[in-house]
Amino acid sequence: MTLAELDRAAGAHALTIRGACHPEPDAVLPEGTGTVLLLGPDEPEFWSVFTASPEYGDGAADPLDRWSKRVIGGLAQDAGGAAVFPSDGPPYPPFIAWALASGRCHIAPVGLLVHDRTGLFISFRGAIALPRRLDLPDVPETPCNSCATRPCETACPVGALGPGGYDIPACRAYLDTVPGQDCMTRGCAVRRACPVSQSHGRLDAQSAFHMKAFHAT
């Protein structure tokens, strides 16, 4: 299967290839892996697909992780590869390193991954490790280079996420306040401030799902 064919197969489940790389040998990868494909939600269609799934409606824990393992596991098997997930480990798969190696992701001024198409809303549901080395397309430069105002640096209402790093206690405390419900129901203000994020199509309901999971941990 070509990269385009693999992307079409993922698209049937509202997933898409958000990056691909030829990885260095790693303990979490099958020996001889030639290409790693990073799969993320194809939004806004993704949310309706996931919420119609049995995992979303069965009331058991970790519905999105279970959905991801079922769907991406099937895609990997069909492609003759192996599925890898962020929750695997230890040792944990180096998804950030793979994302940076793909050239589709970079480090934003606030220290988060930023993607050329999804901005600060980049996320990976899993990866497929293929034994063959696929030809990979050229990649664009980071969108931060053309961002004149860098709104992500000043978007956090309590300065929890900015050039100086991430103040997790301040973030969590703010989410417990009345003003913090804006982030809880619509997603992190810093991620929303990114101009690329704003054109991506992430639904508020999906952001609220992730914020609830984050704040519960």
> Does the pLDDT value for residue 193 go beyond 90?
yes
- What are the counts of helices (DSSP H) followed by strands (DSSP E) for the chain? 10, 8
Q: Which residue, 4, 5, 12, 131, is CA-closest to 71? A: 12
**Residue 163 banded pLDDT, cuts 50, 70, 90:** confident
3-11 vs 63-79: helix axis angle to the nearest 10? 140
111-153 confidence digits (pLDDT tens) = 999 999 999 999 999 999 999 999 999 999 999 999 999 999 9
Convert 197-216 to b/e letters by CB count within 10 Å (16 or more is b): beebbbbeebbbbbbeeeee
Domain ranges of the chain: 3-135+143-216
Query: Are the CB atoms for 185 and 28 separated by under 8 Å?
Result: no
**Residue 165 banded pLDDT, cuts 50, 70, 90:** confident
Question: What is the C-alpha separation between 47 and 41, in angstroms, rounded?
Answer: 8
36-79 confidence digits (pLDDT tens) = 999 999 999 999 999 999 999 999 999 999 999 999 999 999 99
| Residue 174: exposure state from Cβ atoms within 10 A (0-12, 13-18, ≥19) | buried
Distances 199 to 145, 191, 192 between C-alpha atoms, Å: 17, 12, 10
CA 135 to chain centre: 23
